[in-house]
Amino acid sequence: MTALRVGIAGIAIESSTFSPHLTRLDDFTVTRDDALLARYAWIREPRPWCAEVEWVPLLHAVSLPGGAVDPDVYDALEAEIVERAKAAGPLDGLFFDIHGAMSVTGRTDAEAGLAAAVRAAVGPDTLISASMDLHGNVSRELASTVDLITCYRMAPHEDAWESRERAARNLVTRLRDGGRPRKAWVQVPVLLPGEKTSTRIEPAKSLYARVPEVEAMPGVLDAAIWVGYAWADEPRCRAAIVVTGDDETTITEQARGLAEAYWKARADFAFVAPTGTLRDCLRSAIDSDARPFLISDSGDNPTAGGAGDVSATLEYLLGVEELRLGKVSAIYASIQDPEAVAAAFAAGEGAEVVLRVGGKIDPNPAGPVALAGTVQALRRDDPVGGDVAVIQTGGLQVIVTARRKPYHEIRDFTFLGLDPAATDLVIVKIGYLEPELYDLAADWLLALTPGGVDQDLLRLGHHGVRRPLFPFDTDMPDPDLTPELL
């Protein structure tokens, strides 16, 4: 068996163009060389399918979702990938590990641009296989430039690493026998937030259940449905279907079938949990006997691109009588403010402080909020959040982080000495609950709060998306969903 040389490269971030946060180089984790190879389980513990494969690490950069990427940062990362690809010598294949919803200030369709740069560097004969988040966008330019393309099939993304391995395995398989496949690509003029398209519930549950059935058909290599990314204002932002394989008739028919099913279900997509205003959600939670009761502060979710420092929810919580008097206990996770964290560290644990917190990156709608309380806990060097402080005021424990950090796992709280299971209310900057919090919640509401990833798309002010587009144009005619063979 002849050894194959397969490169690895990508830039992965989900970027809200409605967030004032600017993603800079220090927001990215950049890996090269052996550290990049160690990122993938199938390389650390080689699978039978990757025998006789030389994996060639180029560069991979990944960031917590945020605002658009600084163009100078993007250019530097792209240039290094291109330089390393050229220096690597001939590559049989390239595994393109991206998210699909990266925005770069002043540009559109960043992943297509990156793919084009990589293609120019490796040449026309190298097979490129892209792995993406289902919340990415697949323009014709991107789909045309890569040879294989797939995405996650679960939201929450419990199959993320499985999907990456599928993309790499398909690439190696085609390099050994089969060569370059065809792709049936079609966009569907629907743009919905992830909280309305979770695969935990219908109709996404049944739609995504069809994907492996299509994949198993003779003449089909892979099938994928992209929801698209709702918080970027670009023409490419919409749902997409790609079915990859050798039987042109089958892949075209199946891509059309998935696209038509998605379009038909467009009005059936609903939020993954009951929703309401923050005020209504809090009142329901306080009055409920369910404990712990979780509330999603969805508009500033840092794992969707929120700035992480929108302070409107904190301002409201500080005025709730039951929390102020300690009749109800609550954790608020979290708000970013490095200056406030530094002041808490200077004061020390047990000290009384008055801080101005949040609203410095995204000052709408509340601006910095006065937070008076006791420094309950201090932790240095959280791998994501940096230095972290917990401020206790009445029954409310407020987590303040130096860097944006999502709170998805129980250990995120216990690291700070907090016990969410023994707390009445847990308010988290999140959309749909990740698995551990989902299992923890005795009940759960999704608060429709403001921010750069506002769930109410109609009030965000999209103007760069291609129209007509559902739900912006609810009376639009049925679109032509004929797939294009690429």
Q: How far apart are CA 230 and CA 263, in angstroms?
A: 16
Give the distance from CA 17 to its chain's centroid.
14
- DSSP string for residues in 34-81: HHHHTT-HHHHTT-GGGTTEEEEEEEEEEE-SEEPBPHHHHHHHHHHH
Give the number of other Cβ atoms within 10 Å of residue 45's Cβ.
7
**H-helix or E-strand spanning residue 370:** strand 369-382
The order of strands in the sheet holding 93-97 is: 28-31, 53-63, 4-12, 93-97, 127-132, 148-151
Strands 369-382 and 148-151: unpaired
Radius of gyration over every alpha carbon of the chain, rounded to an integer in angstroms: 23
pLDDT of residue 130: 98
Q: Backbone phi, then psi, for 222, in 5-degree steps? A: -155, 155
Pairing of strands 15-16, 275-276: unpaired
Nearest residue to 334 via CA among 368, 354, 311: 311
pLDDT at 364: 83
Residues of the chain with pLDDT under 70: 1
C-alpha torsion angle, residues 226, 232, 234, 240 (rounded to 10) = 10
- The span from the CA of 129 to the CA of 117, in Å, is 15
What string of DSSP letters covers 212-234? HHHHTSTTEEEEEEE---TTS-S
- Give dist(CA 121, CA 59) in Å, integer: 14
Instruction: Look at residues 294, 307, 289 and name the one whose alpha carbon lies nearest to residue 18.
Output: 307
Amino acid making up residue 357: V
Q: How far apart, in Å, are the Cα atoms of 442 and each of 156, 265, 327, 399, 439?
A: 19, 30, 19, 22, 8
Residue 185 near residue 240, CB atoms below 8 Å: yes
Contact 401, 335 (CB under 8 A): yes
Distance CA 486, CA 483 (A): 9
pLDDT of residue 239: 98
Tell me the per-residue pLDDT of 45-81, one tens digit each, with 9 for 90 and over: 999 999 999 999 999 999 999 999 999 999 999 999 9
Work out whether strand 93-97 and strand 293-297 pair parallel, antiparallel, or are unpaired. unpaired
Task: Please enumerate in sequence order all residues whose Cβ is within 8 A of that of 307, keeping only pairs 6 or more positions apart, or say none.
Answer: 19, 20, 21, 66, 67, 300, 336, 361, 362, 404, 451, 452
Amino acid 2: pLDDT: 74
| Residue length of the chain | 486
pLDDT at site 1: 61
* pLDDT value, residue 365: 86
Enumerate helices (H) and strands (E) in the chain, giving the number of each: 14, 21
From residue 445, give the alpha-carbon distance in Å to each of 55, 287, 301, 318, 482. 45, 13, 15, 19, 39
Give CA–CA dist 343/370, Å, rounded: 13
| Beta strand spans in 229-317 (E) | 239-245, 275-276, 293-297
What residues form DSSP beta bridges with 375?
Answer: 391
Within 8 A by CB and 6+ apart from 296, the residues are 273, 428, 430, 431, 432, 433, 444, 445, 446, 447
Residues 110-159: tens digit of each pLDDT: 999 999 999 999 999 999 999 999 999 999 999 999 999 999 999 999 99
Q: Which tokens in the block code for residue 366?
A: 């509340």
Q: In terms of Cα–Cα distance, which of 80, 151, 82 is closest to 121?
A: 82
User: Are residues 12 and 102 in contact, defined by beta-carbon separation less than 8 angstroms?
Assistant: yes
Q: Tokens for 357?
A: 């917190």
